[in-house]
Amino acid sequence: MRLPYRRLVVKIGSNVLTQDNGLPDLARMEQLVNQIAGLKAQGLEVIVVSSGAVAAGRSLITLPTKADAVRSRQLLAAVGQVKLLSTYAELFGRHGLLCAQVLVTKEDFRDRQHYLNMRNCFQELLQRAVIPIVNENDVVSVTELMFTDNDELAGLIAAQLDADALVILTNVDGIFDGDPRLPSSRLIPEIAPTATGFANFVTAQRSQFGRGGMLTKCHMAHKVAKLGISVHVANGKTADILPAVLTQKAPHTWFQPSKTASGKKKWLANSQDSAKAEVRLNAGARAALTAAGKARSLLPVGVVAVVGTFRKGDIIRLSDESGHLLGLGIAEYGSEKALERLGLQNQRPLVHYDYLFLIPTSA
């Protein structure tokens, strides 16, 4: 029986699309396109987050061994993105399907209006049965503008588009309780929203061609699942892996989703860099906000300090008295009023629970 998904984000990692010599694996790319076309024929909306631009660029141009690493990546991405998209366009065209290129940076997710404009573009593409092919704009993404990797980008896209599920295709069968190369390690088939302690058993080693590792993948998947989106981590090199995951026939790891979060909370979950100021809470407020099964607003009586200034509608960081981040919220009024009401009872909430996102504990 196929899982009841309507909208699916498929992230294809560098190690899936790249051969051992660092050049593109066109045969595997064709296989995955065939699978995605099959899902489209079944009525699914599919958004593809694809790595591979740098590998495609490497197949077209040779750089000196001592070339600057950042500039080399920009050059390879600029040249390779054209080839990557033209290859996708040709492969999808064989199935009578159109695809579209969407290049983004982290900055594109920080402004609420820009975020909504980008979502509207995706919605229009999907309504016209066009398959968005999303990638980080490596030509301009350097240092603080960079995503951790395309897993982070895929999680942002899944949350932005209210996807039912995110499928992350990597070069192993899923999350293991140790190094997947060791015979003693076992695949973890399901991870609950309340799971913690990933760092105790998941290796932090990075993949050969990608920027991220399995530990960062695990934390991102857990965060996305907490927003109400199923996340499946599977081996993209396995034949017919996408239909096998959706019919629950392939070995992989499933991050079980929590109750679906609102669109505002999904945006907040990824807006830490947009916060204007910080509000520090006492132990009582922390306990009230994090109590299981209870949705509570942040009241001024639980606030002990306001660091920085903010206006009504701004995003603010919420932390405990030692500065440890607890969550993010949208302020119901400015910092001036917040300071006037500091520690007072019977006051309007500073952050309503509808506009409050608590950071999941997964370390």
- What letter represents residue 125's amino acid? L
Structure tokens, 292:
């299981």
Residue recorded with tokens 């070995």? 251
- What letter represents residue 349's amino acid? P
- What letter represents residue 261's amino acid? A
> Which of 219, 264, 236 has the alpha carbon at shortest distance from 168?
236
| 297 annotated to bind ligand | no
Is the separation of the CB atoms in 354 and 264 below 8 Å? Answer: yes
| 11 annotated to bind ligand | yes
| 20 annotated to bind ligand | no
* Cα 354 to Cα 32: distance, rounded to the nearest angstrom: 39
| 34 annotated to bind ligand | no
| Cβ within 8 Å of residue 279, ≥6 positions away | 298, 303, 305, 306, 307, 316, 317, 318, 319, 338, 350
Q: Residue 89, exposed/middle/buried by CB under 10 A (0-12, 13-18, 19+)?
A: middle
What residues are designated binding site? 11, 51, 138, 150
What residues are designated binding site for ATP? 11
What residues are designated binding site for substrate? 51, 138, 150
